[in-house]
Amino acid sequence: MKQTLILASSSEFRRQLLQKLLIPFNSISPKIDETPLADEKPHETALRLAQEKAKKIGGEYPHALVIGCDQVATLDGEQLGKPLNHQNATKQLQLMNGREVKFHSALCLFNAATGNMQAEVVPYLVRFRKLTDEQIESYLNKEQPYQCAGSAKSEGLGVALIERMIGEDPNALIGLPLIKLVSMLQNEGVNVI
């Protein structure tokens, strides 16, 4: 029996990334509590949440291969959550102004049929441009990235906020490290090409 591939995410950007691999999949939102645990390091939060998302959907679809992912942004080691509103997004972008932010993009591939789980965090560094308050306000009014860690969508207009990016996989910044995913899928017998 061929396994169903499920992306445990409601993100349209992650869906668009996964479509690049030209393999059939379904998307299902896992709806879990994403609150960091006390004393949890940012990469640990991202990894735990990616695994929880994959396991939750895997529990509902016991014959599926489930992709879980999560991303935590940090500035000076402190987590930057999703801003959720304009005021918080303004504060985040002012804090990140001209500075380097590290994105911890966690990826998990869970084989619900066998219980095999592969999981890894793929880091990505972003240096933000020096921006005026007017530029920050203009960006937020145009894109409204209130559900994005770090208040910026690099796959959209947010790229104008960025001075430099450093990492192994540019897809990791959007939240789904495809290079690592291809290897994980191959380990489960799914060949993309």
Active site (catalytic) residues: 70
Q: Which DSSP category does 61 fall into?
A: S
Q: Name the amino acid, one letter, at 84.
A: L
52 backbone dihedrals φ, ψ, rounded to 5°: -60, -40
Strands in 20-152 per DSSP E: 26-27, 65-75, 78-80, 100-111, 117-128
Specify whether the CB–CB gap between 21 and 42 falls below 8 A: no
CA distance 72 to 46: 6
